[in-house]
Amino acid sequence: MSTDSSTPVSVRPVGTATGADRRVGVDLGVRQLFAASPITADPTVRNAYIADGGIVRALYDELGATTRRLQALPGDTTAAEVHAFVAYRDRLAVRVADATEQLLAYLEATDAGTVVLEEITYPLRPLSECRRGETDLGSWLLPVLQHAFADAAVAEDYDVEYINPKYTTQQCHVCDQLGDVDSAGLECTTESCPVDVVDRDRSAAVSIAKRRPDARGKDD
């Protein structure tokens, strides 16, 4: 199966990592559903797993637009709304399942032992409550992604840890200093650091892998 866009999962032979090296951080998002990388990534994080979120964003927006359009029509549109909702729900579920399946394959290819995720404080909400598009996509999607992946990872006997998410996106994964962040990239401003500009989600994945459950964000 394929996701919207993803990197190859063949990274290195199974069995080459040991101990702390077997930690893999997973960053969840709307731009990229999953960005995953081992703690041992190089400064470019070129071997990260990326699942693009473009199609999920489009489907969610289409669901909201379709629902609002149907509700504006005269007469009873309940049946049409239910039909549209089920169609979009199923298509979204396939995308999440495909991305999760490929991420599990990446974990196997990198000989992962522990999967590290950020704590998410907002609740899991049913899509039916968000179908009009009035709810921010991230508020619905991130808990859905976390639950789907964490359950699958536990079923495959991976250890799953949750860490404080503070500054994982802004913090350079090599020198741990806070950099300049835009919508897609992180620029490290530390002169001695080998990182210049890197994809912010790839960098966050490594920072997540490095952080321990009892550790707080930088300067917290």
**What is the C-alpha separation between 96 and 100, in angstroms, rounded?**
6
**What is the C-alpha separation between 164 and 217, in angstroms, rounded?**
7
**What is the C-alpha separation between 110 and 16, in angstroms, rounded?**
8
Type of residue at 41: A
Q: Which residue, chain included where needed, has tokens 């835009």?
A: 182
Short-list 181, 191, 147, CA closest to 204: 181
**What is the C-alpha separation between 205 and 148, in angstroms, rounded?**
18
pLDDT value of position 19? 57
Short-list 167, 166, 169, 158, CA closest to 205: 169
Identify the helix (H) or strand (E) that includes residue 24: strand 23-28
Radius of gyration of the chain (CA): 19
pLDDT value of position 215? 57
pLDDT value of position 219? 46
| 3-state SS, residue 58 | helix
Residue 174 backbone dihedrals phi, psi, to 5 degrees: -100, -55
| 3-state SS, residue 36 | strand
Question: Structural domains in the chain?
Answer: 22-210 (3.30.420)
Mean pLDDT by 10 residues, the chain (220 residues): 38 44 95 96 94 97 95 95 97 97 96 95 90 88 96 96 94 94 92 94 96 64
